[in-house]
Chains A and B, each alone.
Chain A
Amino acid sequence: MTPSGVRWADHPAAVALAGRHRLRAWEPIPWVLALAFYFVFPKYLGFGTELLITILFAISLDLVLGYAGIVTLGQAAFFGAGAYTVGMLAKRGIWNEPITGLVLAALVAAAVGLGSGLVLLRTGGLTLLMLTLCTMALLEEAANLAHEYTGGFDGLDSLPIAPLFGVFEFNPLYPKTQYLYVVAVLFVCFVFVRTLVYSPFGQSLTGIRENTLRMHAVGAPVRGRLVLCYTLSAAIAGVAGGIWAQANAYVNLGTLGLDRAATVLIILVLGGYGRLYGAFVGAVAYVALSHFLSKIYPTAWQLGLGLLLVVIALFARNGILGIIEAAAHRLRPPRAAS
């Protein structure tokens, strides 16, 4: 009981905090759409698989960038680590079972994340940004040089991935299995990240993002939390990379490239970072935009994308979801505003 005689739990702010992790009515929509896509567009499942993997990868970035505020350009280092783990193990005939393969991809990527995070996260700002880029470039060059194991510039193709549960074959030309497999893995990873960001740990990450100095002053082990978050994010990126290698039955240097890292960053900015669903909205918007822009202006469609990003950076810093939130806030009856 508070002195005013009102039970604390009845206060709107306490109710909001206590209930913010509850499932909202619209939250099943992306999953319904993902499953509907399977039935409606059977010819585009390869494209759909790629899109879902991109969403998974973008979610891993959202955890570090959107929640913990770690600015990184090197997230593809972990995507590539996961992809090459699956690729090298399968090519050498050591391990090709898909699900355990993803676990191994996650572990290897997490190890890379932990190792680099322990060093990188001592820094901040531009230094950190450059170091994440360096980590990724080092891995890419290592993969290029270790030709014997990684296939160098050519990568590893025709990976012999075992059937899922020993039954469902991965057919690169007709990727029904891949699509449903990726939907399931994305769902599991998403539930994990969603649980994480609504937990006290997730709350402390947003605290670090909002004011690192204050987090030190409330006794939080800031660097340990950041390293842990970075490692978990790396593991999820590793799963994304691993599943990409499985779905396409090949790995190449592009999995470790700046292009891939920059694309997910653009996706998050477009969709809105630190918002869980920004990855979904951003990925779909990115794909749709590049499709239409390249139809209108095939040689320089990226110019249009660039201009759009400038507009978003200037006028809608929270991306598409931010615009929707602002609109919903205006339409909502004032009573519910607090």
Chain B
Amino acid sequence: MTVPLLETRALCRNFGALAAARDVDFRLEAGARHALIGPNGAGKTTFINLLTGVIPPTSGAILMKGREITKVGQAQRVKLGIARTFQINRLFRRLSVLENVYIAVAERVGAAPSMFRPAGARGDVVEEAMQLLATLKLTADAGRRISELPYGRQRLVELAIALGLRPQILLLDEPAAGVPSAESHIILDAIDSLPRDIGVLIIDHDMDLVFRFAERITVMVSGAVFATGSPREIGADENVRAVYLGRAGHG
């Protein structure tokens, strides 16, 4: 068996009496297109927070390419190549779209600690940020403040910031949530055209998106992995249909 890009072993996280993650064994393979689904409160976002180091696990281990990173800090995990987007936009609202992406790229290339050169003098950072905006069709909005953008466009900036970190592992927490259906295809196209070598884990409630995108699906219920398999297997699984798909899915 190959070494997975990201792996958790018996990962647990308790909030008081609530077990938000219980014995989660999970593997994200290199180049994966993996979806994580489950009813509200199943612990999906908690799982992302554990993977990115926002919160420490109560017990269990997280490994990246076979190396344990359970105790590695949040910023350091980003340097290792784990990036995420947030379920609710977390952007620099009073800065321009370009500045938002600039900040991410500057952190990645190590330009951010520099104090005595103007930010604009790092032409390499500005150029990379502009190119990234071009690939997400955000060029026309580059000079606008986030607070002036419609929500759907803001979701794209979320994605642009994450891509500016050039991740090997990309965790997308409901990337199309709150986006009007007329605009959601921009997000979907952007996700479809992500570089193939990035391992992507996507959380979403939108079953059309999940089944269109995912090559592998993990179902979480009450903090535990309920089922894992190909979209076909998951779609045909009676138990999954009972707990999740039948209730919150296509209907």
Interface residues of A (CB under 8 A from B): 2-4, 8-9, 11-14, 16-21, 195-196, 198-204, 206-207, 210-211, 213-222, 225, 338
Smallest distance from the beta carbon of A100 to chain B beta carbons, Å? 23
Q: Do the beta carbons of B54 and A216 come within 8 Å of each other?
A: yes
| Contact, CB under 8 Å: A204 / B106 | yes
A63 to chain B, nearest CB (A): 12
A-B CB contact pairs (8 Å), 23 listed: A4-B139, A8-B126, A13-B98, A13-B142, A16-B143, A17-B98, A17-B99, A17-B102, A17-B120, A21-B121, A199-B116, A200-B106, A200-B122, A204-B103, A204-B112, A211-B90, A214-B86, A214-B161, A217-B52, A218-B107, A218-B161, A219-B165, A221-B75
**B105, chain A: closest CB distance, angstroms:** 9
* Contact between A18 and B112, CB atoms less than 8 A apart: no
Q: Are B126 and A18 in contact, with the CB atoms below 8 A?
A: yes
Contacts of A213 in B (CB 8 A): 86, 90
B20 within 8 A of A: no
- CB atoms of B103 and A201 under 8 A apart: no
CB atoms of A211 and B143 under 8 A apart: no
Supplied contacts A11-B139, A225-B113, 15 more A-B pairs, CB within 8 Å = A2-B131, A8-B127, A8-B134, A11-B143, A13-B98, A16-B143, A18-B121, A200-B113, A200-B122, A203-B102, A203-B106, A211-B90, A218-B78, A220-B112, A222-B75
Give the 8 A-B residue pairs with the shortest CB-CB distance, closest first.
Answer: A219-B78, A13-B143, A18-B120, A13-B142, A21-B118, A210-B92, A8-B130, A2-B134
B45 at the interface (CB under 8 A from A): no
Residue of B nearest to A16 (CB): B143
CB proximity to A under 8 Å, residues B96-151? 96-99, 102-104, 106-108, 111-123, 125-127, 130-131, 134-135, 139, 142-144
Q: Are B90 and A214 in contact (CB under 8 A)?
A: yes
Contact call A211/B74, Cβ cutoff below 8 A: no
Query: Which of A16, A20, A219 lies in contact with B75, CB distance below 8 A?
Result: A219
Complex contact A11–B118 (CB within 8 A): no
Q: Which of B54, B114, B161 contacts A199 (CB 8 A)?
A: B114
Residues of A within 8 A of B126 (CB): 8-9, 14, 17-18
The distance from the CB of B54 to the nearest CB of chain A, in whole angstroms, is 7
Asked whether A214 lies within 8 Å of B92 as measured between CB atoms, the reply is yes
- Given the known inter-chain contacts A2-B131, A199-B115, A216-B75, please indicate yes or no for A9 contacting B95, CB distance below 8 A: no
Cβ of A220 and Cβ of B139 under 8 Å apart? Answer: no
Query: How many interface residues does chain B have, given as a range?
Result: 35 or more
Give chain B nearest CB distance to A85 CB in angstroms. 24
CB distance from B68 to the nearest CB of A (A): 19
Main DSSP-derived SS at the A contact region: helix
Closest chain-A Cβ to B51's Cβ sits at a distance in Å of 12
* CB pair B99 A203 closer than 8 Å: yes
Known: A4-B134, A8-B130, A211-B92. Contact between A204 and B144, CB under 8 A? no
B130→A14 contact, CB < 8 A: yes
Chain B residues within an 8 Å CB radius of A11: 130, 139, 142-143
Complex contacts, A199 vs chain B, CB 8 Å: 114-119
Chain B residues in 8 Å Cβ range of A210:
91-95
Q: Which A residues touch B86, using CB under 8 A?
A: 213-214, 217
B113 touches A201 (CB 8 A): yes
Interface membership of B33, Cβ < 8 A: no
Given A199-B115, A207-B103 in contact, is the A12-B91 Cβ separation under 8 Å? no
Nearest CB of A to B203, in Å: 15
The residues of B that contact A221 with a CB separation of less than 8 Å are 75
Assess the B91–A211 pair: CB atoms within 8 A: yes
In the complex, B9 has a CB within 8 A of chain A: no
In the assembled complex, the CB of A30 is this many whole angstroms from the nearest CB of chain B, namely 21
Name the B residues within 8 Å of A218 (CB-CB): 78, 83, 103-104, 107-108, 161, 164-165
**Cβ-defined contact, A200 with B108, below 8 A:** no
Enumerate B51-86 residues with CB–CB distance to A below 8 Å: 52, 54, 74-79, 83-84, 86
A203 and B119 in contact, given A13-B143, A219-B78 (Cβ under 8 angstroms): yes
The answer on a CB contact under 8 Å between A201 and B108 is: no
Complex CA–CA separation, A272 to B208 (angstroms): 48
Between A13, A14, A16, the greatest number of chain B beta carbons within 10 A of the residue's beta carbon is seen for A13
Q: A213 to B139, alpha carbons, bound, how many Å? A: 26
Closest to A199 in B: B115
Note all chain B residues with C-beta closer than 8 A to A207. 92, 95, 103
Chain B residues within 8 Å of A338, by CB = 143-144
Contact B93 A211 (CB under 8 A): yes
Q: Identify the closest chain B residue to A19 (Cβ).
A: B120
CB distance from B186 to the nearest CB of A (A): 16
Q: Given B74, B111, B122, which contacts A217 in the complex, CB threshold below 8 Å?
A: B74
Note all chain B residues with C-beta closer than 8 A to A220.
75, 103, 107, 112
Contact B111 A200 (CB under 8 A): yes
- B81 — nearest CB in chain A belongs to which residue? A219
Cα distance A16–B112 in the bound complex, in angstroms: 19
